[in-house]
Structure 1
Amino acid sequence: MQKGRRFRDPVSRREFLKGAAALGVGAGVAGLSLQEAAGAAAKEVNIGVLYPTSGSQARFGQMCVNAVKLAVEEVNAAGGIKSLGGAKINPIYADIQSDPGVTRNQAERLMATGNLTAATGSYVSTYTLVATEVAERYKIPYVTGSIANKLTERGFKFTFQVSPKANMFGEMQMEFAGTLAGRGKRAAVVFEDTDYGTSTSKGVIDGAKKVGFEVVMAEPYTAKFTDATPLVNKIKASKPDLFFPVSYITDALLIIRTMKQLNVNAGIIAGGAGYLIPDFYKDLGKDAEYVFSVGSWNYDVNCAEVPKIAEAYEKRYGEFLMEHAGEAYVMIWVLADAIQRAASTDPLKVRDALAKTNLTKGPGSVMPGCRVEFDETGWNKRVHPVMVQWQKGQLRTVYPASDARVKPVWPVPAWDKRG
């Protein structure tokens, strides 16, 4: 069995799409008169899709784009936007090249045309902060899965955040750590030094105080480093019981390999991103076993529709649907639901419909908590992070109890006992 191929469901893919069609792309949509429908008819609805598909974050960006393609295909196969006469979602992709300056330019290029109904992306919070500034200026609704707190704390009216906020990740990590028997009290925290790392690590450090941990090290680093030895030597010298890294993929691999080389055996409770993608296990093999991480989504989230979604993605792309790609998929359905209810391609009307979103079923609802409802700031107030662990080559949800699919393996074996 291929790693990640773990779902079999008697409901067929055709039945799944039929069910989505029956919902009119979103639950609880009021019907339109023929006159209204004719007046609102459009052949397609343009959605800007901004992800890094080149540069340092290309791997993450491409997985997100793959998920967007799957979701768009499903929306369109289910009848498109029925309140607009079956108009199809037309994604307009922009490679933001893992660069905030390019992100700004690409957002300007797409939004200045006046042809977009909405936009979505951008994976890295630093890029999304830029893209949403442009979207706010052009009054284009922008739905994102990026986690920086300030995305929806700037008073913007056109930014919608489906994911948990960064501070919630650290709090969840520490809450989970507090449940581990015999875990000790010394915590080392290291984090890459962009908005993602600094905001997430703050939640870890603040959360440590609530559960009685002593933070013996809190160290930022630049994710582009090529040698983790100095950093890991500092970690080792701090003698932690638990280690909380916040990393992307290249730096995550370097840190874990160096920890093994220097025999640092602290339990690892990571901060998402690089620890949650297929490459982490592909590159590390058994050394990835038993690593915990917090995440905003996982392919086994406890929502009814998730198994079919995860199976469809893996069948097409040959790997499991990872955290940010799962969010990218959800966001297309959230947008489709809002456009359906707005019965318009007007960005202002779609923005108002997004603000009233309250999805409790269907593929647009499948964030942890199985509900998407935005508060007055544009944040999904129904979402929470989950804790996952690599077990036998599979990334499984272990906490909280409402989402857990397996029990955590704890205590974690020493490096030479893994596999």
Structure 2
Amino acid sequence: MTEKTKVRGLGRREFLATGAAALGVGLTGFPAVLRAQPAAVKLGLIHPVTGFVAFSGTQCREGALMAIADINAAGGIKSLGGAKLEAVLGDSQGKPDLGAAEVTKMVEAGVDGIVAGYSSAISLATSQEAAKSNTPHIVDVGVSDQIVQRGLANTFRFAPGYGSIAKFAVDNLGGLNQLTDSPAKTAMIIHEESLFGTGTAELLAKELPGKGIEVIDVIKHANPTRDFTNIVLQIKSKKPDLIIPANYYNEYVLFARTLRQQRVEAKGIYSVLGGAASNYQFVKEFPEAAEFIMDCNHWFNPKSEVALARKAAAEAKGLFYTYEVFLTYNAVLAYADAVERAGSTDKAAVNEALANSTLDMSFMPYGPTQMINGQNMGAKAVNTQVLKGEIEVIFPQEFASAMPVFPMNG
């Protein structure tokens, strides 16, 4: 990715102001020896930009391209003489086998590292394929803890996995119950069928009884699903205090709208990694369906000037600042930081730098970066709630922008 600047007739003053050195002329009047431009650092970006999760995949790609543009504008990789990052784009179409095939093509084309692949299933496949060549692989969003439990020295995740997110979600539900005279005692979990939804549902079903919340049903749905009426009627008949969705954006929106159309009442809609609950597009387009929904999810630090500046930059590009955008931005940033410290694109050296990363990520609601088996142990989720058309952070307290409203029905 290069930019060409067209220079038109400079006047005498402009010429002198520019300086002879800037035009490649030495003091003797002879052309200076032009330095060779350092080789670009090729970074493969593999996301589902077509298929049923194309919205999220496209958001990931846009976040990555924003990061590359910012890093290059700041001087590139300085330890490599200002080498620029160059994006190599791939489309998994939402399918793990196609994601792995994209890795194979990119490795053969000489990429130095890979950021992928949005969903957990795709991330498992792409990181496994990248491991064959020891190519550094950073997972941007995929939350399955299996991704970092296989002993792959090339695989890293700077965002939290669903193990820590589910525990955080359940602990905060216990906290919400303590704040009210009408605590939630029952729940139904509605989840999508892939590794992400199934794994999250299993963790929640195991942990919720320990907080005094009985799981009266767990319902799985396909991707894509175009009609939630039957599922919502089951919820309406069983009357759980809590409805807990774990699904991707399109299905989440349809599910939430169907709940409202069927006038389902509950003490709370409490998402865990909800595909829309922490999404400005959902809140803007369907404000009545979104109001009071809570979510435990990835989020940025609302008190960080850096995070707010990146949010403004994304919105200036016409993007909704979703977790896909900023998590993939962070993944590219982490890769560039590792190459900078390694002073090389050598794969083993970059993997070692990633394993020892102490990247300052205070623009997220994280603690200090500490990598153990490829997982950043400082990464944390937050709880959000849609209040008066705004997405507010309600937990943890040090990052909170509002107090929770619970129960949501009065």
Residue pairs, 1:29-44, within 5 angstroms: 42-44=38-40
- Of 366, 369, 378, the match for 2:366: 369
- Shift in Å at residue 223 of structure 1? 2.8
Unaligned runs of 5+ in 2: 1-35
Aligned to 1:185: 185
Aligned pair count reads 369
What SS class does the counterpart of residue 397 from structure 1 fall into? Answer: strand
Whole-angstrom CA distance in 2 between matches of 1:394 and 1:136: 42
Q: Which residue of 1 aligns with 2:124?
A: 129
- Listed as ranges, the matches of 1:86-235 within 5 Å are 86-113=82-109, 115-145=110-140, 146-180=142-176, 181=180, 182-235=182-235
TM-score, normalization by structure 2: 0.86
2:283 maps to: 281
| 1:398 Cα deviation from its structure 2 partner | 1.1
C-alpha separation in 1, matches of 2:290 and 2:198: 24
- Give 1:55 deviation, angstroms: 1.0
3-state SS, counterpart of residue 386 of structure 2: strand
2:33 aligns with none
Show the counterpart of 1:345.
345
Tell me, in whole angstroms, the C-alpha distance in 2 between the residues paired with 1:312 and 1:393: 21
**Structure 1's 254 and 318: CA in aligned 2 closer, same or farther, altered over 3 A?**
closer
Structure 2: distance between partners of 1:174 and 1:247: 18
> Does the 8 A contact of 2:243 with 2:270 survive in 1?
yes
3-state SS, counterpart of residue 366 of structure 1: coil
Aligned partners of 1:185 and 1:241 also within 8 Å? yes
Question: Matched residue of 1:275: which SS?
Answer: coil
Which residue does 2:3 correspond to in 1? none
1 CA distance for matches of 2:53 and 2:153? 28
- Which has the larger Rg? 2
What is the SS of the residue equivalent to 1:138? Answer: coil
- C-alpha distance in structure 2 between counterparts of 1:203 and 1:303, whole Å: 31
**Matches of 2:38 and 2:172 in 1, distance apart?**
49
* Runs (5+) with no aligned partner, structure 1: 1-39, 415-419
Aligned positions of 1:71-86 closer than 5 A:
71-86=67-82
When residues 340 and 45 of structure 1 are mapped into structure 2, their CA distance, relative to the original with a 3 A threshold, is: same
**Superposition pairs of residues 354-365 of structure 1, within 5 angstroms:** 354-360=354-360
Q: For the structure 1 residues 317 and 413, does the alpha-carbon distance in structure 2 shift closer, same or farther, using more than 3 Å as the test? A: same
- How far does residue 265 in structure 1 lie from its aligned partner after superposition? 1.4
Shift of 1:318: 4.5
Per-residue CA distance 1:34-66 (angstroms, 9 max, x = gap): xxxxxx983310011111111111111111111
Equivalent residues in 2 for 1:377-396 (5 A)?
A: 377-396=373-392
Are 1:60 and 2:50 an aligned pair? no
**3-state SS, counterpart of residue 369 of structure 1:** coil
C-alpha root-mean-square deviation of aligned residues, in Å? 1.9
> Is 1:51 matched up with 2:51?
no
Q: Secondary structure at the match of 1:358?
A: coil
Instruction: State whether residues 46 and 118 of structure 1, in contact with CA within 8 Å, keep that contact through their aligned partners in structure 2.
Output: yes
SS of 1:53 mapped into structure 2: coil
Cα drift, residue 170 of structure 1 = 2.1
Higher relative contact order (CA 8 A, sep 6+): 1
Q: TM-score, normalised by structure 1?
A: 0.84
